A and B are shown apart, each in its own frame.
Chain A
Amino acid sequence: MEFFKQFAVPNPTPTIYLSMVAIGLTLIAVLAGITYFKKWGYLWSEWLTTVDHKRIGIMYLISALLMLFRGGVDALMMRAQTSMPGNELLSAAEYNEIFTTHGVVMIFFMAMAFITALMNFVVPLQIGARDVAFPRLNALSFWLYFMGAMLFNLSFVIGGSPSSGWTSYFPLAGNELSPHIGTNYYMIALQIAGLGTLITGINFIVTIFKMRAPGMKLMKMPLFTWSALITNLLITFAFPVLTVALAMGTMDRLFGTHFFTMDNGGMAMLWANFFWVWGHPEVYILVLPAFGIYSEVISTFSKRNLYGYTSMVVSIVVISTLAFLVWVHHFFTMGQGALVNSIFSITTMAIAIPTGIKIFNWLFTMWKGKIQFTVPMLYSLGFIPIFTIGGVTGVMLGIASADYQYHNTMFLVAHFHLVIIPGVVFAMLAGMTYWWPKMFGFMLNERIGKWAFWNIAIGTCLAFFPMFISGLDGQARRMYTYSEVAGFGIWNLLSFFGALGLAMGFILIVFNVYYSARYASRDIGDDPWDARTLEWATRTPVPEYNFAVTPQVDSREPLWDSKYEGKTLFKEEIKDIHMPNNSGQPFIMTIFFFVAGFGLVFSMWPVVYVAAAGIAVLLFIRSFERDDGRHIHAEEVRETENNKRGDTR
């Protein structure tokens, strides 16, 4: 029995027991359902072993949406707890766990997965490629992310969640002040998922540099592909820093080293520095693809080419450089001295310049355009004012001397939610709605989509604007409750209503998916939005080889020019197409990663050794494997092309 005690949750409450039962029942229902409908073979051969970038993208999308709901429920619980002074819905310990998991889940497992989902699905299509450069590694990336996410979520019911904030600052996250294993989950799960992200970064850099269609020069790439390229460069150079920081944190916790401790020379500030040297580029890793999506959407629905293409590209590059030079602004109050703070204050405010350029370019794109108020366009239009408010308050926070007033208050919470929700969540919902027909062959209902948008947009403002006021009034972040005399009650109650609005919006999105899947027309053609870039030049739904013939590009908007300027995209004859084979190795390898991670969390060394040996064996098998892929014959391609619905070109 001693052995099993370590798996118990430290602060059990009825809600946690209830969730355990619910998770158990759902799991049984899912497994039973798959068995009953005899879908195991389908699941294995079509999804678990797939190396197709489109299917991997869809799996990322599903995971991201699931994580959005997990993180969203966390958020609702927090807002409910603070909606009234002296509320006792949650205990202080539970509240700590919930704000920690909310942040981690939303950043690492929702937002990162969402951008990777859209990059996976869209980038190869936009550049006219058949797949990414390393399809097998792409599958490995997804499964590493997925297993990391599952490991992290397991903490909720086995062993207890981390509770030292999503930034996990030491010494709070050290053994002395967080003696429970929760923080081990944080360190290990993020390490596994981070490895997947790094592999994605390398994969997409090579894909975008080497696999563009003939004629697509760098300065002819669509803006989303540009933003994906720069994002993946940021990933490749920022994530190793997180890798090292997490490894050091793990060693402090498991082996008793003194990197971030308060004694034997340890330096807790080193964690804060490393975390944000990764963490600030991470902000731009999330927001740059969003900027790319807005550029595509705004140009498509204004029926105009993007204003200031070159300055858009330059501003992305400038932002990515500055991203590495501002990390100290996350802890101005933690003792650097005036000179250092001043330098980082200036670099921080400088970021507003390229960002401002982008905002004006979007506005100029819409100027005199024929604007269509579709759901993706509504998200883009909602983004501009809300993001600007978030951005301007960011400049306020960037003023080091003033930051002493704002630091660690709800003002900060309001700021970063008002940049990250319009900047990332709106963009992802816009991108999802925009590319949905390409992914699934039907469009999401516009009417329900608009209801969802207004709920989310108004909910966002209502949830976060009051925090500016309560924050300036002195309400600290991460406080689980407050007394009535503080006067924060009304602002927090408004926030709670805003959170309910957001929740309503997301429920409507789920309903929209159900409704549209059931009733929407399947006869939508290849290009339902009358768009401009190559992903709409393929068939809907996209055949596994993407393009029967590699397109020839000589402009920034090749599809638009082929539709309205009479240029020919597809000049060659259909030939045999070479495709990679599916493989179960990535999935199996990541199961070993999961087991090894679980073993590390609880310091069960034999488990770790066995799982690590499994990983090593699989690496050897892969090295000795002789897999040359397969060919789809020209005849077969011609047949597929003729059978596809939609207009023939």
Chain B
Amino acid sequence: MTTEHSTPMEYSTETNALNIIGFWVFIGAEIALFATLFAAYFIMEGRIADGPSGGHLFVISTLMIQTFVLLTSSFTIGLGVNAMRLGRKGAALTFFIITLVLGAGFVGVEIYEFYEYVHEGLNLQTSAFSAALFTLLGTHGAHVSFGLFWGIGIIIQIVKYGFTPRTANKTFIFSLYWHFLDVVWIFIFSFVYLKGMM
């Protein structure tokens, strides 16, 4: 196991260290992006025109499934990165695959949820509220979906090359991205769903 005196593999070259810092700055930009989407949602929340409101639409069961699945996936990717640091390729790959399966589950439930909303009479064009809701959830969901493809690309590279400074770096950055999406979901959970249902 690496000790606290040595640098983890994902930081081990100069380019790697720059990549990680660069990604943190990118997450800063992403925070600004989601903050703007949240601001728009809060302003549009009550502007439902003739359509249904959030309180009318939100269902606790799908919400809990989505939250449980995504939070668990954040935990498993953490385990995966830990396994990577221990040099256990098989364990790491297993955890990453579980992560992506959970992510796919999340996206699946979200698509089902959108389908239900449309059935309840909430289209993208229904009201300002619907536009803001679908844009906020959709942007998050699109990020998760993009992450699925990205993650598959990284898993293929780990299988092919094992853990090198390069693949370790990619994996670690991907885990940052995945945790970030989890954090965004916690805000969506609290300030869209819970607030809407209360």
Contact = CB atoms under 8 A, between A and B. Distances in A.
Interface of A: 133-134, 198, 201-203, 205-206, 209-211, 236-241, 243-245, 247-248, 251, 255-259, 261, 263-267, 270, 274, 277, 616, 620, 623-624, 626
Contacts of A240: 29-30, 32-33, 36
Interface residues of B, number: 38
Contact of A236 (B32, B48, B50, B157): B32
Contacts of A265: 44, 47-49, 127-129
Interface string B11-48: 00000011001100110111011001100100110011
Contacts of B166: 626
Contacts of B47: 265-267
Contacts of B130: 258
Contacts of A264: 49-50, 125-128
B97 interface: no
A244 B33 contact: yes
B124 interface: yes
A317 B24 CA distance: 21
Nearest to A202: B25
A294 to B, nearest CB: 27
Contacts of B8: none
A259 B40 contact: yes
Contact of B135 (A211, A239, A251): A251
Nearest to B46: A265
Interface in B125-160: 125-132, 135, 149-150, 153-154, 156-157
Contact of B21 (A209, A248, A257): A209
B36 A241 contact: yes
Contacts of A243: 33
16 contacts: A134-B22, A201-B29, A202-B25, A206-B21, A258-B126, A258-B131, A264-B126, A265-B47, A265-B49, A265-B128, A265-B129, A266-B47, A266-B128, A267-B44, A616-B149, A623-B153
A203 B22 CA distance: 7
Contacts of B149: 616
Contacts of B26: 202
B70 to A, nearest CB: 22
Given A623-B170, A624-B153, A270 B25 contact: no
Contact of A210 (B18, B40, B43): B18
Given A236-B25, A251-B135, A258 B128 contact: yes
A259 B29 contact: no
A274 B29 contact: no
Nearest to B23: A202
Contacts of B157: 623-624
Contacts of B49: 258, 263-265
Contacts of A241: 32-33, 36
Contact of A202 (B29, B43, B150, B170): B29
Given A134-B22, A206-B18, A265-B49, A236 B29 contact: yes
Interface string B182-193: 000000000000
A137 to B, nearest CB: 8
Contacts of A261: 128
Contacts of A624: 153, 156-157
B30 A133 contact: no
A623 B167 CA distance: 10
B22 A259 contact: no
Given A264-B127, A267-B128, 9 more contacts: A203-B22, A210-B17, A243-B33, A255-B125, A258-B128, A258-B131, A261-B128, A274-B36, A624-B157
A266 B48 CA distance: 9
B1 to A, nearest CB: 28
Nearest to A269: B43
A270 B36 CA distance: 11
A579 to B, nearest CB: 13
Contacts of B132: 259
Nearest to A578: B14
B10 to A, nearest CB: 16
Contacts of B128: 258-259, 261, 264-267
A257 B153 CA distance: 34
A565 to B, nearest CB: 31
A95 B18 CA distance: 48
Interface string B101-138: 00000000000000000000000111111111001000
Contact of A256 (B32, B44, B125, B129): B125
Contacts of B18: 133-134, 206, 210-211
Most buried by A among B21, B48, B157: B21
B127 A248 contact: no
A237 B32 contact: yes
B25 A205 contact: yes
B135 to A, nearest CB: 7
The 6 closest A-B pairs by CB, nearest first: A265-B47, A265-B128, A240-B33, A240-B32, A257-B131, A264-B49
A238 B28 CA distance: 11
Contacts of B28: 236-237
A485 B14 CA distance: 70
A190 to B, nearest CB: 16
Contacts of B21: 206, 209-210
B44 A239 contact: no
Nearest to B26: A202
Interface in B163-177: 166, 170
Contacts of A210: 17-18, 21
A198 B127 contact: no
B142 to A, nearest CB: 11
B124 A255 contact: yes
A266 B49 CA distance: 9
Contact of B29 (A198, A255, A626): A198
Contact of B22 (A133, A244, A255, A257): A133
Given A202-B25, A206-B18, A241-B32, A270 B127 contact: no
Contacts of A270: 40, 43-44
A277 B21 CA distance: 26
A338 to B, nearest CB: 21
Contact of A237 (B29, B44, B150): B29
Contacts of A259: 40, 44, 128, 131-132
A144 to B, nearest CB: 15
Nearest to B136: A244
Nearest to A211: B18
Contacts of B156: 624
Nearest to B37: A244
Nearest to A245: B36
A545 to B, nearest CB: 16
Nearest to B170: A623
Contacts of B33: 240-241, 243-244
B22 A248 contact: no
B44 A244 contact: no
B12 to A, nearest CB: 14
A175 to B, nearest CB: 12
Contacts of B129: 265
Contact of A257 (B48, B124, B150, B170): B124
Contacts of A211: 18
By CB atoms of chain A within 10 A, which of B50, B126, B128, B154 has the most? B128
A623 B156 CA distance: 11
Contacts of A244: 33, 36-37, 40
Contacts of A256: 124-125
B114 to A, nearest CB: 15
B39 to A, nearest CB: 8
